[in-house]
Chain A
Amino acid sequence: MQTTLKISMLLMALVVTGAALSSADEGRLKIATTSSLYDTGLLETIVDKFTEENGATVQIPSHGSTGIAIAAGQKGDVDLLIVHDKAREVKFIQDGDGLERRCFAYNYFYIVGPADDPAEIKGLNASEAFQSIMENGLNQPDQVKFITRGDQSGTHSKEQSLWKAAGYNYSEVNISGPWYVDAGSPMGATLIMANEKSAYTLTDMSTFMAYKGNLTLVPLIEGGDELLNVYSAIAINPEKHPGVNCRLANDFIDYLVSAECQEIIGTYGQEQYGKPLFFKGEDSCDVMGCSAEECVVPTQAGCAEA
């Protein structure tokens, strides 16, 4: 008898603690995102403003890379996805995991490298630059190296499409020699490695700006349509994942595209870095290459559960 009593008391204690730790989910929004939005502090700034006005609790449990963010979305562990990899976003929605893709901000990728630019890419466009890095890297791997994220992140996806645009088959580039270094690391760690090894790499503009103070690398190519980097938000589909907080996800998306939030995005980093880290998506639907539906304000997606 006594043992049963003890065990039931223990169980009760566990239940009470558990309940206290996990407050009601009604007003809680969980976002999975990519490192560039999180590490630069932009997303938290937006979240703070949103919670101030809305009273909701917003958490960002996943902020590593697009890969793990999408995995969290596929399992219904989060309510909202904010990433930058169009092809995988479209597939995510086609698979029924997400509702609508909403473009809300953009900037550009940079090709960065050592200031003496041994592969002489300055002034080229992105695909020409990749050709030159590869040719020089194959000939003199001691002088010319390229570091890849190698982690299926949004940046790594962009890199793969750039190799394709440059006329190469990525799976061949990947194993073509010691000049191509697969770091399997997040953006910050990859930039530090490129810096240590005096190598080239592809980086999103915002992470580079945030790390610039500690790097001797310089941006060698910093624009052009090929290097466009579009951020979008997708609410998780409650029909496929019952229990996700779709309403609050849509509220957050509506806030992202609101004039107030767009102003925050378009000026974020101005003071600290001398220029903003992101461009607002407002009125830039064409520039971002998004369809009219992907720029509609406010969101049309319904939240019907199955």
Chain B
Amino acid sequence: MTTSSPHLGTSNSVSRLMLHVGYALLPGIATYIWLFGPGLLVHILLACATALVAEAAALALRGRPVMPALMDSSAILTAVLLTLAIPPLAPWWLTVLGVSFAILFGKHLYGGLGYNPFNPAMLGYAMLLISFPLEMTRWPAPLSLLEQAPSLNDSIALIFANGVSVDAISAATPLDALKTQMALGMDIPGTIASSEYSQLFGQLAGVGWESINLAFLLGGLYLLFTGRIAWQIPVAILSSIVLLAAGFHYLDPQHYASPELHLFGGATMLGAFFIATDPVSASTTPRGRIFYGIGIGVIIYAIRNWGGYPDGVAFAVLLMNMAVPMIDYFTRTRVFGEGK
């Protein structure tokens, strides 16, 4: 059996790519744990274990070799990304259910890695959000706002002891607070200044959240400058959000939050650098990626302002995933020699 040219190749590999995305997530995860307690860590471990079991089971059922696919770390990455979207003190079964759904339905039902049209983590998240809205929106307050921070043991107890309420330490996220207050007729400056919510809004976009977003931005820039993600996608998402937010905020600051709140609040950075850039479900042509990113940015902004949810990264990504085949078709490159 002869081999075909080229007879050289890079040491680049899928698992190495996934690994570097994992490294890039570390600053964000560390900041998250630092500011919101160790609950996230428990969920990540749980999610990884679930992902590996679900992946192995799916591969075995499909009669595919198990080890190479497990080694590529893509299942782990899906698990971690989904976990970052689940409240860190949510009950354990939420993570197990979400991750299993993401791997089995989001990925293997379509044929496994490379064949899924939707971002599996976001599919898992959307399923959880729609099915368990209460559990999925009970975010804990940042530790700095709590009188007593939950320890690792407390977190484990809260996660695994079903029925124990985490109400005592939960609080609205900044985007949440804006949404509910606006629905009650308040305006944005009023909400931020109010005694009930003023402590939530930090320097930029909310205590805790702004730091996490900055940490994810740091990791994202690492991926961007090492060429591991397509630059077009995050740039298009962030600039379209900034442009929209700046425009509306300029026209009506009472009802439209500032661009920095949109950039550093919610899941913006995580979404722009780590979720929307999932190559499998994203557009692949250079121009297509720009349209794809703009679409996500616009939908995120629309959902946040006019939709039913405080944040919209997951739905924006899923909606644009659907548009990818069409975007790719219409943004094919002009090949060499076809004229300019």
Q: Do A and B come from one complex?
A: no
- Interface positions of A (Cβ within 8 A of B): none
